[in-house]
């Protein structure tokens, strides 16, 4: 019997998050990313297709990451994505 991993319930689309200037990942906390570029809301992030491939943390500090299966966006917290999957650690 195969166990299916439970997906977290996505946060509301108006949830604010910080975006990293180096790799483009988002986090609810500014210390979850290396270089804060600014803030956005989840609705502006997840659901819009990413033109860049998903990347890990360039500084290898924040390596636990999730990628959205639907749009390819990357986040530190899975709740910021609508269809998260865990990314392999570098």
pLDDT per residue over 28-48, tens digit each? 999 888 889 999 998 888 887
- Rounded CA-CA distance 28/43 in Å is 14
Distinct helix (H) and strand (E) counts, the chain: 1, 6
pLDDT at 2 (0 to 100):
39
Give the residue extent of every domain in the chain: 16-86
* Sequence-ordered alpha helix ranges (H) in 1-90: 42-45
pLDDT per residue over 62-74, tens digit each? 778 899 998 889 9
Handedness of CA 77, 78, 84, 88 (dihedral sign): positive
Does 68 or 60 have the greater pLDDT score?
A: 68
pTM of the model: 0.78
């Amino acid at each position: 019997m195969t166990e299916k991993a439970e997906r977290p319930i996505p946060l509301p689309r108006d949830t604010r998050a910080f975006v990293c200037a180096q790799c483009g990942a988002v986090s609810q906390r500014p210390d979850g990313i290396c270089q804060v570029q600014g803030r956005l809301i989840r609705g502006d992030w997840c659901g819009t297709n990413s033109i860049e491939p998903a990347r890990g943390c360039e500084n290898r500090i924040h390596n636990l990451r999730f990628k959205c299966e639907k749009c390819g966006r990357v986040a530190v917290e899975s709740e910021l994505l609508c269809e998260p999957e865990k990314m392999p650690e570098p």
